[in-house]
Structure 1
């Protein structure tokens, strides 16, 4: 009888391809000992609120020792992938402000960003400095083509989060983003990681700035090798010094403009329409030798479109509040619009080096004294209620405590994984 049981266990293990303690189970977040996410905030982007104390003073939602990680200009092969691995190793979530051209160039990478649960925002179509463009229509085209392209590449919802190239805004652009209900993000601490330096120097410089300020939104770029090397060391330093990671999410996804969805189609270079992707295993099948893991049944075979975050684990589903249902995306109309010539590849991303001496204010300008000199600061008028709401972790002291009675119930328990089924079978035959 024992022999039969052992034989059955061996057969089950061989058929399923792994034992009870699979690598997927070991990699599930949260994991003990990792930095993790201490708090997740939901941002209501109605009216286009501004964040980042370098330019927008209206909303400071971070408590002492809290950090938001943001990455610009990607995705990029190898570097973005390395950043994703470092974040996953520590169960950390970040926000990626992607360039439209880059997203369409590496759709598989930006989809991995979204699938990993990170927030995806936009950073224009080709990283043109909007303040230097001759007309606002050209700036609007950069904004909207970027939104449509990133959404197209991800293949699912993206956040209405936007960051200006070179961190320089214009009054017209800020007003337009407000009408589109797209939030604007500056920064609290600029890593200046585009400058030649070692990874050790980059981490040391960032930590010195962070220790001085005590908290903040960090600006980095996932297109630089030095940054990719520095991220694991940065996360280790943040953990060692007791800093906590805050993950920003959006209350509702961005709604693309139909004419720009059509305009970027020729740039998609054969990328299938959202929801039209066929699983790789239905197109390519190994008939000799050992099939690769990519031919295993995927979630897309079960009707889920690619590019969407993976379903939560049972532990997360029982502890985290459910997200509000996302509105449907608009259909693509037939009328295309002319597409301007693309700009060169993105360069450095910092107002410290390339911004004009005076930054145009979206609403009003106040003077802030820095090292004895007056510094112009853009101010976005604050709404009566904060657009930021904590949806997991400890709420900010200034946040209202009212609970929305219309919050949806927790989703149903997700289907059991193969390893869980195998474990149950093992326990049935052999016990604990």
Structure 2
């Protein structure tokens, strides 16, 4: 039986389209011309990133699925699947109030849980999402036990920790393609943030939900979600300190990302300008509860937005003009992929493959779940060299990605 990655990109688009959606229907839904859709299904030349994004959105899929880098339901190893099943069971059980009785003398304390949360987020920021996922389930169970026994004066703290645990579950399951679990987890996170009456956590969940919507191909909704969350936070951020200001800035960045996916260059530029202004006001990158925002983060996202808009030269220029040392490893990895794609768009094939090979070799488990390597290999693969073979081995794809 053929594996998903054995088909050509055009064949995968046709299979994802199915019999109920015609090529003309796909063209209308994606905003592309009929000849563009026909050429895509006939594998007549590599597809640009904007075209891939529009097709993936119209097909309600991920770019990585269109390219064959992941099967439609996300090809994962047995350990990752086991982790995701345990995470799903824990999210649904705790949300339904099914909490195991604590072992005598083993009830977790607030300080211990706060320390465990920091460890979990450090792993997440490193880009080790599967490892982070294996930490979320026991953390969530422990927080649920704490919340069950917490006195009234600790209930706000308990709800804040529950919100963090559910948000982490949502971000990780979204990254691994478990979209239903991601939506449910973010919803639980928002409920507990509201119970905690924590405006920072509430605002942070705007960008979390926007992230899930983006991965689900619901770009216009992602834009509305991020802009709405930013608007709700903006009037209060000056009174709430760096945390809410950072959450506000991150929502603005996600709105810019969504606008770029829609091809709206003016709106993206305006939102990026606002994000840079917020970052300048902060003066440094702020970390907290699994969130990062500041000058480094805004700069990295500006690179990605310009790549999506087809401004490869500007993206490369921006990447050379700011200091990325404040980025988490995951954010730095993603920026390196954006740089590699901009280099490919500029036909700097060897340089692009060198950049791609560097980040994929250093972080193979993270890279396997990214779509951009497949985009670059699709374009540069025709040259056929040792870099392509090495990348294919790391990513678990065929060297002849088309």
Q: Decide which structure has the larger Cα Rg and report it.
A: 1
Q: Same fold by TM-score, threshold 0.5 exceeded?
A: no
Structure 1 length normalisation: TM-score?
0.22
Higher RCO by CA contacts (8 Å cutoff, separation 6 or greater): 1
Higher fraction of helix: 2
